[in-house]
Chain A
Amino acid sequence: MFLTEPERLQTIKACRDCPMCHPVDVFAQVTGKEANTPRGRAMTLWGLEKGLLSWESEGVSDIFYQAFLDGLPQEWCEGNYDFDEMIIGARKTLVEKGLAPAVVSEIAGRIREIGNPRGISEKGVSAIVGQSPSTKPEIAIFLGSAARTERPQAAMALAEILRRLKIGFEVLEEESDSGFLSYQLGDFQTAAAQAKKIVDQLKKIRAKKLVVLSASAYRMITTRFARFGSPFPEGLKVFHAAEFLCELLARGKLVFRKKLDRPVTYHDPCCLARFIYVLEQPRKLLAALCESPPVEMNWTGKHARSCGGCGGVPFTYPDISQQASRLRVEEALKTKARVLASADPECEAMLSRVAQGIEVKDIVELVAEAI
């Protein structure tokens, strides 16, 4: 549990009565059910505390897995209650009691066996990114599960940029899932095992900088590995790809030879926007590489809505996940943009499944196009 018991009880008490974050809970926006609001979930937890419900009661497990855990309710909340951790704690209890949906243990099995939760056999990171321009790596790169499987475009683009800029890179001997999904699903055992596995790999790299393409892996490595007992090696500096590229831009190392002439809007990945506050760097990159500044969506920045990819929902409730993606794409279309940019292959995988009339691209891909 990442909340102390007093913190957990305080959060339950604050959320069980409060409906103020209704508009930002995307799951509730899709289903319309009170049970899918933060208040509904906290009310259920209070019912469990008081013995008015039991963990085995009909619907209890569903309620806790029907949540995106995208950090938006907490960001919206003036009281800053850590709603997500409260729910992850409930999921952990359900996992321990054997009451979690079957897919949670199926995901653990897939991660153990093939290294990603999707069950897609991988061809390996080296095959995706190709050769480093130098045998002396300045950076190591970590792609994340989505870029290793269904959405490799950003990974390929990043490698291409590095080759063009003659920045030597290396990859992990055996990159595996970051464990972020397992953590969000309440499967702390798998999350801790994955953290250890990756840290063991990170200890073997020569570079002192790690550039992470996946927003969730970035959050997991920088803010959760230590809490799962496996802090990343001392002396290693970890960057998200957008931060890294933005720094290259500031140093004058990244120069754009042509400007993107299609109007762009930017979708903030939850993990970057709310947990680590990487908000400016992607926008600076876009401002530099686009002819006109990116158009903001209605819900943007710290209050950007989820792409539908958080909280394990694509695995537990794929239909709801897809409806959430559609909501986000509809918002993007309202801006009249022709490109929906993001900074996380997971988000891009989600959005591109439903995007019509708008192209979904990672910022890294746009940078590669422009240099």
Chain B
Amino acid sequence: MTQLLFEIIREELCDVVGEDGVDTSDAGRFCYGADYSWVSRAWVDRGMKPPLPDYVVLPRSTEEVSRVLKIANHYKIPVIPYAGGSGVNGGVLALYGGIMLDLKRLKRLIRIDEKSLTVTAEAGINGEILERELNLKGLTLGHYPASGYCATLGGYLAARGSGTLSTKYGKAEERVVAMEGVLPTGEIVRTLPVPRHATGPDFLNFFIGSEGTLGVITEVTMMADPLPETRDFQGFLFKSLEDGLEAGRKIMTERLRPCVIRLYDPPSTIRFVQKVLGIQVEGAFMVVGCDGKKDLVALEMKEIAKICKSLGGEDQGRKPGETWWEERYKFYFPPFCPDLPELFGTMDSVTTYDKIIPLYEAKKKTIEEGFKDFGARYTAHFSHWFPWGTMIYDRFFVEKPPQDPREAIQLHNRIWAAAIRAALKEGGVVNEHHGIGQKLGSFMPEQLGSAWPVLVSLKKMLDPNNIMNPGKMGL
């Protein structure tokens, strides 16, 4: 971009959001050089120049978002919607420069409807702040993702996030009632006021999971739930992962309603449960919990305990589960979270119950045997359970990766790609709740098969100048 064009665009953006809403300073832009993805972090860690936006733009309203997108379309420059920056797959990297559209000023809590139990807020509101406001009214969003302290409402949906209690409350996308968004060409659109209807195709899905490639989410109405009367947890220790998985399957297919089932494979029991929570157990550790009315919770917990015990689950009492709940965010703070210089990646997938053990075994084998020379290790836990199957939250680790950043990234890509291919072969999917971003984009044609061109056509129609978050989701 020429200096003159740069200044012209800057002035036009300032006209929309004010001088205070446009940051072109070196340091201000540098702060958007990495998100929470390993590759972007490792790149900067090794002193490599990160991809930077040309402009950071902070709109205060949907109308301002619309006007910014019209400017971007006119000049054909990229726009990257940004908020919490907690994504782990490089979904908000400014790979081609352009406008970093930071939505954190769109943070108004518009309405809590205490009769219908819904909450309407702007997309940039911080998850923890929203949750606390709901708690004041005796309500909860029911969505407790690990990123809840930093992610925003719009981000929850753009990446199809899951919370730690999703087994009962559903993934973020299942809690949406209605939404407002801005299409790439600047039109402001609203979905129907309710999510269940027989009024044609669902426009909600233009935005959910689109990771900013099809538009910008600006306002959302979500379901809320009453804060539960009680929330009980119980810990169980299984001799084998298979027994734990079978217990989880039975709990879900008998249609009990736990809010959480969190089953750790033996290596992650050691790495996380022992080391972070200080619970000295070996085997496959499970935390299971129910919440709601006291009597119902007591009854469900009793039934759950019966199932777990019938599969050899040793009752560990309430304490381990309570400790996990109280310290559930601790895993994600340094120094307790996986961190550089270690090489690591989270490759979560999901499949039906009949395929989950082969999927786990295939990924474990792919990593531990295929990358034995690098000392690759594999851990997994199963933390989001559905009536038909469960997700696998698995990670690879290489303690001493190559020093050269290019070599390190190459190894990172190779391991991840091998694991994804193993997952696809066993009936899994590319990702369950972290999104695609840049990292996994190249797998989208393989994942969608003959449906891929449909998505590409849709993108072309909605975003003719390909300004929205280019290089992400394979688009």
Q: List residues of A whose CB falls within 8 A of some B CB.
A: 13-23, 28-29, 31-35, 37, 39-40, 43-44, 46-47, 50-53, 57-60, 62-63, 77-79, 81, 298-299, 334
- B45, B85, B132, B329: which contacts A78 (Cβ < 8 A)? B329
Determine whether B284 belongs to the interface, using a CB cutoff of 8 Å to chain A: no
Known: A32-B107, A79-B334, A298-B136. A58 touches B26 (CB 8 A): yes
Known: A44-B27, A44-B31. A50 touches B126 (CB 8 A): no
Determine whether B41 belongs to the interface, using a CB cutoff of 8 Å to chain A: yes
Digit string of B97-135 for contact with A (CB within 8 Å is 1, else 0)? 000001111010000000000000000101111001100
| Across-interface contacts of B102 in A (CB, < 8 A) | 32-34
- B27, B34, B136: which contacts A17 (Cβ < 8 A)? B34
Q: How far is the CA of A28 from the CA of B82 in the complex (A)?
A: 14
Q: Are A53 and B47 closer than 8 Å at their CB atoms?
A: no
Q: Are A13 and B340 closer than 8 Å at their CB atoms?
A: yes
Q: Are B85 and A19 closer than 8 Å at their CB atoms?
A: yes
| Across-interface contacts of A40 in B (CB, < 8 A) | 31
Q: Are A59 and B132 closer than 8 Å at their CB atoms?
A: no
| Across-interface contacts of B28 in A (CB, < 8 A) | 33, 35, 59, 62-63
| Across-interface contacts of B216 in A (CB, < 8 A) | none
- B27, B58, B103, B333: which contacts A20 (Cβ < 8 A)? B333
Q: Are A19 and B84 closer than 8 Å at their CB atoms?
A: yes
Which among B23, B28, B45 has the highest number of chain A CB atoms within 10 Å?
A: B28
| Across-interface contacts of B56 in A (CB, < 8 A) | 33-35
Q: Are A17 and B41 closer than 8 Å at their CB atoms?
A: yes
| Across-interface contacts of A57 in B (CB, < 8 A) | 25-27
Separation in Å of the B259 CB from the closest CB of chain A?
23
Known: A23-B149, A52-B49, A78-B336. A32 touches B27 (CB 8 A): no
| Across-interface contacts of B333 in A (CB, < 8 A) | 18, 20, 77-79
Q: Are B58 and A62 closer than 8 Å at their CB atoms?
A: no
Q: How far is the CA of A40 from the CA of B30 in the complex (A)?
A: 8
Q: Are B34 and A22 closer than 8 Å at their CB atoms?
A: no
Q: Identify the closest chain B residue to A34 (Cβ).
A: B31
| Across-interface contacts of A46 in B (CB, < 8 A) | 44-45
Q: Identify the closest chain B residue to A48 (Cβ).
A: B27
Determine whether B203 belongs to the interface, using a CB cutoff of 8 Å to chain A: no
Determine whether B330 belongs to the interface, using a CB cutoff of 8 Å to chain A: yes
| Across-interface contacts of B82 in A (CB, < 8 A) | 34
Known: A32-B102, A35-B27, A53-B26. A23 touches B128 (CB 8 A): yes
Q: Are A18 and B31 closer than 8 Å at their CB atoms?
A: no
Separation in Å of the A334 CB from the closest CB of chain B?
7
Q: Are A22 and B334 closer than 8 Å at their CB atoms?
A: no
9 smallest CB-CB distances across A and B, nearest first, come from A59-B25, A59-B27, A32-B104, A19-B150, A78-B333, A40-B31, A50-B47, A32-B105, A14-B334
Q: Are A63 and B47 closer than 8 Å at their CB atoms?
A: no
Q: How far is the CA of A50 from the CA of B129 in the complex (A)?
A: 34
Q: Are B126 and A23 closer than 8 Å at their CB atoms?
A: yes
Determine whether B289 belongs to the interface, using a CB cutoff of 8 Å to chain A: no
Q: How far is the CA of A299 from the CA of B31 in the complex (A)?
A: 27
| Across-interface contacts of B103 in A (CB, < 8 A) | 32
Q: Are B132 and A298 closer than 8 Å at their CB atoms?
A: yes
Q: Are A18 and B334 closer than 8 Å at their CB atoms?
A: yes
Q: How far is the CA of A352 from the CA of B124 in the complex (A)?
A: 30
Q: Are B31 and A19 closer than 8 Å at their CB atoms?
A: no
- A35, A53, A63, A334: which contacts B136 (Cβ < 8 A)? A334
| Across-interface contacts of A58 in B (CB, < 8 A) | 25-27
Which among B47, B104, B124, B332 has the highest number of chain A CB atoms within 10 Å?
A: B104
Separation in Å of the B390 CB from the closest CB of chain A?
27
| Across-interface contacts of B340 in A (CB, < 8 A) | 13, 17
Query: Would you list which residues of chain B between 313 and 339 have a CB under 8 Å from chain A?
Result: 327, 329-330, 332-337, 339
Determine whether B371 belongs to the interface, using a CB cutoff of 8 Å to chain A: no
Determine whether B36 belongs to the interface, using a CB cutoff of 8 Å to chain A: yes
A-B contact pairs, 5 of them (CB 8 A): A19-B149, A23-B127, A29-B129, A59-B27, A60-B26
Q: Are B30 and A52 closer than 8 Å at their CB atoms?
A: yes
Determine whether B32 belongs to the interface, using a CB cutoff of 8 Å to chain A: yes
Separation in Å of the B256 CB from the closest CB of chain A?
32
- B30, B36, B149, B332: which contacts A44 (Cβ < 8 A)? B30
Q: Identify the closest chain A residue to B84 (Cβ).
A: A19
Determine whether B33 belongs to the interface, using a CB cutoff of 8 Å to chain A: yes
Known: A19-B86, A32-B104, A32-B124. A53 touches B27 (CB 8 A): yes
Digit string of B74-91 for contact with A (CB within 8 Å is 1, else 0)? 000000001011100000
Q: Are A35 and B31 closer than 8 Å at their CB atoms?
A: yes
Which among B31, B33, B50 has the highest number of chain A CB atoms within 10 Å?
A: B31
Q: How far is the CA of A334 from the CA of B25 in the complex (A)?
A: 38
Q: Identify the closest chain A residue to B128 (Cβ).
A: A23
Q: A17-B334, A50-B44 are in contact. List 12 more A-B contacts (CB 8 A).
A: A17-B34, A19-B36, A19-B86, A32-B58, A32-B102, A33-B23, A33-B28, A34-B56, A44-B30, A59-B25, A63-B31, A81-B334
| Across-interface contacts of A33 in B (CB, < 8 A) | 23, 28, 31, 56, 58, 102, 104
Q: How far is the CA of A40 from the CA of B27 in the complex (A)?
A: 9
Q: Identify the closest chain A residue to B20 (Cβ).
A: A31
Separation in Å of the B37 CB from the closest CB of chain A?
10
Separation in Å of the A284 CB from the closest CB of chain B?
25
Separation in Å of the A152 CB from the closest CB of chain B?
35
Q: How far is the CA of A63 from the CA of B49 in the complex (A)?
A: 19
Q: How far is the CA of A35 from the CA of B133 in the complex (A)?
A: 25
- A21, A43, A53: which contacts B34 (Cβ < 8 A)? A43
- A14, A17, A23, A81: which contacts B36 (Cβ < 8 A)? A17
